[in-house]
């Protein structure tokens, strides 16, 4: 493997890669040519991601694996599923999208993750982790009658394997025993202490057709003698346990092979070419380096998980504090004031702004891995014992723990605070990561307090308010930087449910803002000479103020960076109906469609939430 010292700024010379347009072009390549291709693909990936920005480390780690899988399997007829999809850039390059790779994550460009609508080679759309194995077994069972010769492969990372959903699927696969191959891409050495010559030697034996034949004939011979058969099976399992960490997978009913070097093309080809013809579920454990081939990325796997453009000119907002930084400062301050506070995150320490907290309060910080359901019920358990848990979680990932939120927290009215980062339209990561639905899916839950701060200072105030509230509470805030408001460092709570009347024009039009579209709401307020209220709370609403303002108005206009259907504006409509208020309404928010990847500003335009679109709609309505 060729090692690069830096990301190239000029397009590299890649003659062999240039000749590969689809996986069929790989079939006739020799092993030495495949090794040359791996070097060229790695250099091209470095260059292209340097131009576009995006996920880098995961793709660098699976260059060799991607090449071998497409070399050996008949994709797209055979199913190849990439868990999460952070690592799928090389896959996209080899499947007809090489010349478009620099458009990735841009408006109308390639999607940031595998997408069924983009390519027939993307057999399953992903974005959230740990879904691949469930999809794999579904595809395998679904094709038995129509295409019994079809192969099915899933590549899942060691991080994604920490999710319960992955193990639910493994249990089902072990029960059904379909002909599938699961590749565990282990780039953290977390369960791989025994890698070495002996384990590699036995892995090659266990993955050989000769051994498989002996095992099959031996099983037939011994089955009439149950004790002897089970003894032989137990000996094999114990041998594997001595040199490899795969006993758990064997117990689940999978044939475990590994660990092997995931950057060794010869070994990958030899092992996978055998496994693809074996019957039953095969589990191949490979060891890779995240960021492999780039010195800087190998030494800083977190920092090079995703990168911006190499030559990008950062705007002035880049120097401002991001909302995650506001949260990170607040939780440290609150932890110093209250020793019962406990911080929890499902594998999002850096993204949620918890790095300093984890260092300062290591005994009160818990990263539960990619286990959103567990994180919520774990918090519920802490609350029972009079702790004050704060769950820092992206809005889009809270969806994965919805039952636990209702059943384990809200029904029992337990004191858990949810800090919902990445709420609303998030930009380049697209619809799988946009946090559009938390207002709608939270406000229908009894006992929930729902806060929608409009800027950085309001975020800090409402985090304090939610935390000091006795019961389940959420505070939603977006990705990135805000308007750079002046932040007061006190830890005083606001009055629950009390809105901020910013401008009272005694107007027939009332503008209600929920969240970080206050700038747009203010501009429209000035444009219409309308009363402006920053509502702060979706649940409970400031019913006293609403009744007063809506009684004298003819129209209210609501703004929210969330789903219109079931959202904050809908809550006001329900209130008006309950109070028999005869008032018209115009609701601005995210429409009933998935907004595709683009910059946040471009997504806002697509959602009709930019000033031009807002004025255009109002001119028609008014």
Among residues 322, 400, 461, 479, the one annotated as catalytic is 400
Question: Is 114 inside a domain boundary?
Answer: yes
290 annotated active-site: yes
Residue 157's Cβ-count burial label (10 Å; 0-12, 13-18, 19+) is buried
Question: Consecutive sets of 10 residues in the chain, 622 residues long: mean pLDDT of each?
Answer: 86 95 97 96 92 85 97 97 93 96 92 94 93 95 95 93 91 96 80 46 58 56 56 56 68 90 95 94 92 77 71 52 96 98 95 96 95 96 97 96 97 98 93 95 98 98 98 96 93 97 93 97 96 98 97 96 97 97 96 93 94 94 84
Q: Are both 435 and 376 inside the same structural domain?
A: yes
Q: Which helix (H) or strand (E) holds 135?
A: helix 132-142
CB contact at 8 A, 600 and 475: no
372 annotated active-site: yes
Q: Are both 207 and 338 inside the same structural domain?
A: no
CA gyration radius for the chain?
Answer: 27
* Largest CA-CA distance found in the chain, in angstroms, rounded: 91
What is the distance between the alpha carbons of residues 19 and 281, in angstroms, rounded to a whole number? 35
Question: Is 1 inside a domain boundary?
Answer: no
Question: Is 313 inside a domain boundary?
Answer: no
Angle, vertex CA 578, rays to CA 575 and CA 580, nearest 5? 105
Q: Are both 174 and 296 inside the same structural domain?
A: yes
Q: How high is the pLDDT of residue 117? A: 94
Question: Is 2 inside a domain boundary?
Answer: no
Q: Are both 263 and 406 inside the same structural domain?
A: no
Domain holding 575: CATH number?
3.40.50.920
Q: How high is the pLDDT of residue 269? A: 97
Q: Are both 272 and 141 inside the same structural domain?
A: yes
Q: How high is the pLDDT of residue 220? A: 54
Q: Are both 19 and 157 inside the same structural domain?
A: yes
Using the 3D structure, point to which of 281, 307, 333 is the last residue of a domain: 307
* Tokens 């774990």, located at residue: 378
Question: Is 9 inside a domain boundary?
Answer: no
CB contact at 8 A, 419 and 348: no
11 annotated active-site: no
Q: Are both 129 and 267 inside the same structural domain?
A: yes
Q: Are both 147 and 282 inside the same structural domain?
A: yes
pTM: 0.85
Which residues are CB-contacts of 362 (< 8 A; sequence separation ≥ 6)? none
Question: Is 543 inside a domain boundary?
Answer: yes
CB contact at 8 A, 14 and 40: yes
Handedness of CA 523, 528, 533, 539 (dihedral sign): negative
Which residue range(s) make up the domain with 427? 318-476
Using the 3D structure, point to which of 424, 442, 476 is the last residue of a domain: 476
Q: Are both 261 and 360 inside the same structural domain?
A: no
What is the distance between the alpha carbons of residues 355 and 516, in angstroms, rounded to a whole number? 25
Q: How high is the pLDDT of residue 309? A: 73
Question: Is 259 inside a domain boundary?
Answer: yes
CB contact at 8 A, 596 and 622: no
Question: Is 535 inside a domain boundary?
Answer: yes
Joined together, the tokens standing for residue 29 give 């390549």
Q: How high is the pLDDT of residue 314? A: 43
What's the total number of domains in the chain? 3
What is the distance between the alpha carbons of residues 62 and 89, in angstroms, rounded to a whole number? 10
3-state SS assignment for residue 22:
coil
Which residues are CB-contacts of 594 (< 8 A; sequence separation ≥ 6)? 431
Among residues 40, 102, 250, 372, the one annotated as catalytic is 372
Q: Are both 406 and 523 inside the same structural domain?
A: no
Closest to 263 measured CA to CA, from 546, 477, 490, 67:
67
Domain holding 390: CATH number?
3.40.50.970
Using the 3D structure, point to which of 476, 510, 526 is the last residue of a domain: 476
Among residues 289, 290, 322, 461, the one annotated as catalytic is 290
Q: Are both 468 and 523 inside the same structural domain?
A: no
């Amino acid at each position: 493997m060729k090692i690069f010292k830096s990301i190239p700024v000029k397009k590299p010379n890649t003659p062999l890669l240039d000749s590969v347009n689809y996986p069929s072009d790989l079939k006739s390549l020799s092993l030495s040519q495949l090794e040359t291709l791996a070097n060229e693909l790695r250099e091209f990936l470095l260059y292209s991601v340097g131009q576009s920005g995006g996920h880098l480390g995961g793709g660098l780690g699976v260059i060799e694996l991607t090449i071998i899988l497409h070399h050996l399997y008949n994709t797209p007829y055979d199913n190849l599923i990439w868990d999460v999809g952070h690592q799928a850039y090389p896959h996209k390059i080899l499947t007809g999208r090489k010349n478009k790779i620099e458009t990735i994550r841009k408006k109308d460009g390639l999607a940031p993750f595998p997408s069924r609508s983009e390519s027939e080679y993307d057999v399953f759309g992903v974005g959230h982790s740990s879904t691949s194995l469930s999809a794999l077994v579904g595809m395998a069972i679904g094709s038995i009658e129509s295409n019994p010769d079809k192969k099915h492969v899933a590549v899942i990372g060691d991080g994604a394997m920490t999710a319960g959903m992955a193990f639910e699927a493994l249990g089902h696969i072990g029960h059904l025993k379909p002909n599938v191959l699961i590749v565990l891409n282990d780039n953290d050495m977390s369960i791989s202490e025994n890698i070495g010559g002996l384990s590699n030697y036995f892995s090659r034996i266990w993955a050989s057709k000769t051994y498989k034949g002996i095992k099959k004939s031996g099983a037939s011979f011994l089955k009439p003698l149950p004790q002897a058969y089970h003894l032989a099976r137990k000996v094999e399992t114990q041998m594997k346990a001595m040199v490899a960490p795969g006993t758990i997978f064997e117990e689940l009913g999978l044939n475990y092979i590994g660990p092997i070097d995931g950057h060794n093309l010869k070994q990958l080809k030899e092992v996978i070419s055998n496994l693809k013809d074996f019957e039953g579920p095969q589990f191949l454990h490979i060891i890779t380096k995240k960021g492999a081939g780039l010195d800087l990325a190998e030494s800083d796997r977190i920092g090079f998980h995703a990168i911006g453009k190499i030559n990008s000119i950062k705007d002035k907002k880049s120097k401002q504090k991001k909302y995650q930084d506001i949260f990170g400062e607040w939780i440290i301050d609150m932890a110093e004031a209250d020793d019962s506070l406990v911080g929890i995150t499902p594998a999002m320490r850096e993204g949620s702004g918890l790095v300093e907290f984890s260092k300062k309060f290591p005994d009160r910080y818990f990263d539960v891995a990619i286990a959103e359901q567990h994180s919520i019920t774990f918090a519920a358990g802490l609350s029972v014992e009079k702790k004050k848990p704060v769950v820092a979680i992206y809005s889009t990932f809270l969806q994965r723990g919805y039952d636990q939120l209702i059943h384990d927290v809200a029904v029992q009215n337990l004191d858990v605070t949810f800090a919902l980062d990445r709420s609303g339209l998030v930009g380049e990561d697209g619809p799988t990561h946009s946090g559009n639905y938390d207002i709608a899916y939270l406000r229908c839950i009894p006992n929930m307090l729902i806060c929608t701060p409009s800027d950085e200072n309001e975020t800090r105030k409402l985090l304090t308010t939610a935390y000091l509230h006795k019961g389940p509470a959420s505070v939603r805030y977006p990705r990135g930087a805000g308007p750079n408001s002046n932040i007061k460092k006190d830890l005083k709570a606001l009055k629950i449910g009390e809105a901020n009347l910013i401008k009272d024009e005694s107007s027939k039009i009332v503008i209600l803002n929920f969240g970080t579209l206050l700038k747009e709401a203010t501009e429209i307020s000035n444009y219409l000479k309308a009363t402006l209220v920053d509502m702060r709370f979706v649940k409970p609403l400031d019913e006293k103020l609403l009744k007063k303002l809506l009684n004298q108005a003819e129209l209210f206009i609501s703004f929210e960076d969330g789903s219109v259907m079931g959202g904050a504006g809908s809550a006001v409509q329900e209130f008006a109906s309950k109070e028999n208020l005869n008032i018209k309404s115009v609701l601005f928010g995210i429409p009933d469609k998935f907004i595709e990847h683009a910059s946040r500003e471009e997504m806002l335009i697509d959602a009709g939430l930019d000033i031009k679109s807002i004025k255009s709609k109002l001119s028609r309505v008014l």
